[in-house]
């Protein structure tokens, strides 16, 4: 277990009593990341790829260093596999609009799953509607695990993409992405992995796993808001058209037409989020200093402990019981609406999420209108779980 890391996060100096169980929504930022962002404004601020003066050269160098750092972080040696985006949502939309849209023909299909975040669902649904193709949705069983045989049956030689998350943000299910990728590749379909919930503590070696597209956000891995990543495999980089048009992505512009740079430099039109990128780089340093394995172990231990404790409460029902669970637990309590749960927990300084978690199709599937959700990170400890259980017990008693 990691015990002292809470001190790395200044938010807990500001709110010593805070029990933050909503890291699946956004993680807090360690001091080193905050410093990196601030330092850029104080010492390094400049636009990139535009100036020949020292400040601009330095900023450009640091920005591009992070591109390579991100590539290595996901198992690639090629910095050009990495485009910086606003976040997971934008990364997925880029694949939908800049890669997939133009290659869809009647009779094609896209395969996704019922457990997706809306960000990895609506872009495909919109494409399917517009191009009159089929969106095929793989189901989950009562435990919240994907039904692999049914998913497999949905993929055929007209499947243009198989898009799925690594970890469900509502159920906490950890999908066996190696197996899912294999199934897609057997039918020559490329995959898109939504790694928003897993990038922090799962090894994601894009080369070894032969991933074509992968998306994640900075703010769920201790980085800043407004910065995300789209990984595109070597063989598909030339297939990605610009997403937004403007400066910074062109080779030449004349009154008759424009020629564009190659991926990833055709993605970042306009001035990019430079301090966000540097913050992301610092977040990767922080994660690597601790080690993904340690982070995973810590979060795994806490989650297991919380699941065991919740099982003792007969009024509490957890949504799903996946074979392999990450640091996320969605639950409902008899007779008490998730919002009321969250409000009362808030009075005990416990922050949980309540609602539909941007997964309405999944909640409909389980017959729930909303759930409460607790999610863990490295700054949580067993005492946080104890506090959650104590508050829940008190609330259940109060409500009776």
Would you tell me which residues interact with another protein (CB under 8 A)?
336-340, 343-344, 346-348, 354-356, 360, 363, 369-370, 398-399
Cβ nearer to another protein, comparing 134 with 348: 348
Mapping DSSP onto H, E and C, the string for 363-380 reads HHHHCCCCEEEEECCCCC
To the nearest whole angstrom, how small is the minimum distance from the Cβ of residue 370 to another protein? 4
Catalytic residue among 11, 250, 358, 370: 358
Q: How many of the other CB atoms lie within 10 Å of CB of 310?
A: 19
To the nearest whole angstrom, how small is the minimum distance from the Cβ of residue 20 to another protein? 16
Cβ nearer to another protein, comparing 21 with 354: 354
To the nearest whole angstrom, how small is the minimum distance from the Cβ of residue 140 to another protein? 19
Cβ nearer to another protein, comparing 325 with 357: 357
Cβ nearer to another protein, comparing 304 with 364: 364
Q: Nearest-5° angle of CA 135, CA 117, CA 19?
A: 170
To the nearest whole angstrom, how small is the minimum distance from the Cβ of residue 339 to another protein? 4
- What's the token pair of residue 127? 């494409």
Q: What are phi and psi of 137, to 5 degrees?
A: -120, 115
DSSP-derived 3-state class of residue 43: helix
C-alpha distances in Å from residue 178, one per residue of 170, 174, 190, 206 = 21, 11, 13, 11
The number of angstroms, rounded, from the C-alpha of 5 to the middle of its chain's C-alpha atoms is 22
Burial call 62-71: b when 16+ CB within 10 Å, e when fewer: bbeebbbbbb
To the nearest whole angstrom, how small is the minimum distance from the Cβ of residue 119 to another protein? 16
Whether 358 is catalytic is: yes
Burial call 176-200: b when 16+ CB within 10 Å, e when fewer: ebeebbebbeeeebbbbbbbbbbbb
Cβ nearer to another protein, comparing 248 with 361: 361
Catalytic residues, by residue number, are 358
């Amino acid at each position: 277990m990691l015990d002292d890391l809470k001190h790395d996060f200044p938010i807990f100096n500001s709110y010593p009593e805070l029990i933050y169980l909503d890291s699946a929504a956004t993680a807090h930022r360690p001091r080193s990341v905050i410093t990196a962002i601030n330092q850029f404004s104080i010492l390094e601020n400049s636009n990139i790829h535009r100036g020949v003066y020292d400040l601009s050269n330095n900023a450009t160098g640091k920005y591009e260093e992070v591109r390579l750092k991100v590539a290595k972080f996901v198992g690639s040696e090629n910095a050009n596999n990495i485009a910086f985006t606003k976040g997971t949502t934008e990364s997925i939309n880029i694949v939908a609009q800049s890669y997939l849209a133009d290659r869809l023909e009647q009779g094609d299909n896209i395969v996704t799953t019922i457990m997706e975040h809306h960000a990895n669902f609506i872009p495909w649904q919109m494409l399917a509607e517009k191009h009159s193709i089929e969106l095929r949705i793989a189901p989950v069983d009562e435990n919240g695990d994907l039904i692999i045989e049914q998913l497999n049956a949905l993929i055929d030689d007209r499947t243009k993409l198989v898009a799925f998350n690594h970890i469900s943000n509502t159920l906490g299910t950890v999908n066996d992405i190696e197996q899912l990728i294999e199934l897609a590749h057997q039918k020559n379909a490329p995959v898109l992995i939504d790694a928003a919930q897993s990038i922090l503590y799962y090894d994601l070696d894009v080369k070894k796993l032969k991933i074509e597209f992968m998306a994640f956000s900075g703010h769920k891995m201790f980085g800043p808001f407004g910065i995300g990543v789209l990984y595109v495999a070597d063989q598909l980089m030339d297939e990605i058209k610009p997403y937004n048009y403007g400066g910074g992505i062109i080779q030449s512009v004349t009154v008759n037409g424009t020629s564009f740079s190659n991926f990833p430099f055709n993605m970042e039109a306009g001035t990019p989020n430079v301090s966000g990128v540097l913050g992301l780089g610092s977040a990767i340093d922080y994660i690597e200093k601790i080690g993904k394995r340690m982070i995973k172990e810590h979060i795994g231990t806490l989650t297991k402990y919380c699941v065991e404790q919740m099982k003792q409460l007969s009024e509490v029902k957890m949504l799903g019981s996946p074979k392999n669970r990450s640091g996320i637990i969605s639950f409902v309590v008899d007779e008490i609406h998730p919002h009321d749960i969250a409000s009362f927990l808030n009075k005990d300084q416990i922050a949980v999420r309540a609602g539909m978690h941007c997964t309405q199709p999944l909640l409909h599937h389980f017959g729930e209108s909303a759930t409460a959700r607790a999610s863990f990170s490295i700054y949580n400890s067993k005492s946080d779980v104890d506090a959650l259980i104590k508050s829940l017990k008190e609330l259940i008693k109060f409500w009776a």
